[in-house]
Amino acid sequence: MQLNLPILDRLNGCKSILIAGAGGGFDVFVGLPIYFTLRRLGYNVHLANYSFCDFMLASMFSEPIALSPLVLGARPPQDKPLPYYAEGYLARWFQETQQEDVTIWMFAKTGAGPLMEGYATLTEHLSTDALILVDGGVDSIMRGDEAGPGTLLEDSISLTAANTLNIPVKLLACLGFGTEIEEEVCHHHALENIAALAKAGGFLGNCSLTPQMDVFQKFEAACRYVWEQPRHPKSHITTRVIPAVHGEFGNHYMYPDDDTLNRIPIFVSPLMSLYWWFNAETVIQHNLLIPLLSDTETTIDAFRAYAALRPHLTIRPRKNIPY
């Protein structure tokens, strides 16, 4: 069984596709089923992430490829376990289980200005002609005027950088509708935003993961491998996506013994297994924050820009989905 990507017509003729995690953390992992599917179809595909990794630690305990001070190619860590190195452990999973030497490119966690430089450097190095930004959750499609916009700031920084690239194909894929409970995302507004993007011609369709797909099985195996490294954190997004694909429902925790004191009720459902595809340029046009981010050097600068904008917006009040 194959993942039925609704965007294949847009990739016709593309020679170098970059799949990049937009919001940082574990976002690059939600691009893995897409990566494996496109590879099987004969495309040349690369992986990257807006990284939360400490570049200094990564350089001390592994041998990353230094493309620039802003872009490192993660390599498998050496013997000493690192408290957070999702990209490096993913590279090691490829090496140990797939017998492949795959570089996971890491963008430094910066403001939009340096990230623009990082994207320009990497896309030139890879001769990229198609960019697929991937987001665990749906806060990348938030505009900024929602009562519950989630952690849209990191996604908006990545979208700002993508906006400057002279690349013919720019797409956004979101996986995990309903997973962002801690972030208090308003999913009524997420659907409202999807409707607005559809009206503007920017919604490109859905596709769903199923447990029979080998691309899903590899995705799950890679996630488990990284999460189960000593003391390594897990993703609260994909630890909900994976059970949803397996048919779990309601207040289900994939790792029932983890953090039992700080648990909140969650609602695992089949909606979490869906990819939502968008024209990234349309998403950029609808984002109210992006025009203010181009000159930001740090994430603090970006936060201050959003904090200054927020009081001037007409905030849409939180609503529940009525069914």
Write down the number of H helices and E strands in the chain.
10, 9
Is residue 63 packed enough to be buried (19+ CB in 10 Å), middle (13-18) or exposed (0-12)?
A: middle
Q: Other CB atoms closer than 10 Å to residue 65's CB: what's the count?
A: 13
Distance CA 130, CA 123 (A): 9
Q: pLDDT band for position 260 (50/70/90)?
A: low
Interior angle at CA 116, CA 223 and CA 160, nearest 5: 80
Q: Give the model confidence (pLDDT) of 134-154 as tens digits.
A: 999 999 999 999 999 999 999
**pLDDT of residue 292 exceeding 80:** yes
pLDDT at 256: 83
Single-letter code of the amino acid located at 62: S
- pTM beyond cutoff 0.85: yes
pLDDT at 21: 99
Distance CA 109, CA 70 (A): 9
258 — phi, psi (to 5°)?
-85, 130
Q: Give the model confidence (pLDDT) of 103-138 as tens digits.
A: 999 999 999 999 999 999 999 999 999 999 999 999
Is the model more confident about 83 or about 205? 205
Average pLDDT across the chain, whole number: 96
Q: Which two tokens stand for residue 87?
A: 């990209």
Is the CB of residue 142 less than 8 Å from the CB of residue 196?
no
pLDDT at 321: 94
Of all residues in the chain, the percent with pLDDT exceeding 70 is 98
Single-letter code of the amino acid located at 30: V
Q: pLDDT band for position 261 (50/70/90)?
A: low
pLDDT at 259: 63
How distant is the alpha carbon of residue 262 from its chain centre?
25
Is the CB of residue 70 less than 8 Å from the CB of residue 118?
yes
Q: Other CB atoms closer than 10 Å to residue 61's CB: what's the count?
A: 16
pLDDT at 168: 97
Single-letter code of the amino acid located at 103: T
**pLDDT of residue 243 exceeding 80:** yes
Distance CA 40, CA 2 (A): 10
Q: Which two tokens stand for residue 294?
A: 């181009």
Count of all residues that appear for the chain in the document:
323
Distance CA 251, CA 265 (A): 6
**pLDDT of residue 299 exceeding 90:** yes
Q: How far is CA 223 from CA 62, 94, 96, 109, in A?
A: 20, 12, 14, 22
Torsion of CA 129, 121, 107, 276, to 10 degrees: -20
User: The tokens 């003729």 sit on which residue?
Assistant: 13
Q: Give the model confidence (pLDDT) of 42-99 as tens digits.
A: 999 999 999 999 999 888 888 899 999 999 999 998 777 788 999 999 999 999 999 9
User: The tokens 């309903």 sit on which residue?
Assistant: 178
